[in-house]
Amino acid sequence: MKNKFRGLIAGIIAYLLILGSTLGPFYVVLISLGSVIYFDVKIFLVVLPAMLTVGLGEEALFRGLLQRLFIEKLGYRIGIFFSSFVLFALWHIVWLCMYSNVALQIIYITIAGLLGVLIGLAFEGSKNLLPVIIVHGLWDAVMTAISLSTPISQVSIAYYALALAVAIATYCLALVYMRKIISFLYKV
């Protein structure tokens, strides 16, 4: 029971680190420039169980099986990059039909891959699927609640570029610290 509670706490902390280092800064910049972002709690609560189930399946495949396999065969960095960036991003290519704009399609696939790397590092820090299942489920549920709640607005591409630059800078910090923070939680 103690290990499950630790996994739950590690998952929530990893989620907050990932949100804080990726879309958090992105949304802060967009909101500060005048965009309005909505979050519907009812949608979040309705989709959360389904998203946790998706997280279970995808994390068992990508972290539990493929990441372990590729790290063994290709080494730590290349193994995580290939399983958690390349394959995880390609897995999400099915969602491209959501966007008619090619630039948005490329951004979506890239973000999926970048998030896959952070989730892969969280798994390496915990050696436990529960935290990454929680991260994945929360991420998908929050993004669904935002995307179904927020009307699409036309924001200048310069705003998106600035928001993306801030998000990339904070993402790089997360790459350095994610595994260390999650490992620390499991040592305490």
Determine the pLDDT at residue 147: 79
Q: What 3-state class would DSSP assign to 94?
A: helix
CA atoms within 13 A on the CB side of 47: 22
Tokens of 9: 């706490």
CA distances (Å), 16 to each of 70, 167, 184, in order? 27, 14, 16
Quote the number of domains for the chain. 1
Q: What are phi and psi of 77, to 5 degrees?
A: -65, -50
Rounded (to 5) percent helix, strand, coil in the chain: 85, 0, 15
Strand positions, DSSP E, the chain? none
Report, as ranges of residue numbers, the positions in the chain whose pLDDT lies below 70. 95-101, 104, 150-160, 188
The pLDDT, as a whole number, for residue 46 is 92
Task: Please write the tens of the pLDDT for every residue from 8-31.
Answer: 888 888 888 888 777 777 777 777
CB 103 within 8 A of CB 159: no
Give the whole-angstrom CA distance, residue 161 versus residue 184.
34
Instruction: Annotate 66-77 with b (16+ C-beta within 10 A) or e (fewer).
Output: bbeebbeeeeee
Structural domain of residue 134, as residue ranges? Answer: 2-187
What pLDDT score does 58 carry?
A: 92
Measured distance between the N- and C-terminal CA atoms of the chain, rounded to whole angstroms: 16
Per-residue model confidence (pLDDT) at position 79: 94
DSSP tag of 150: S
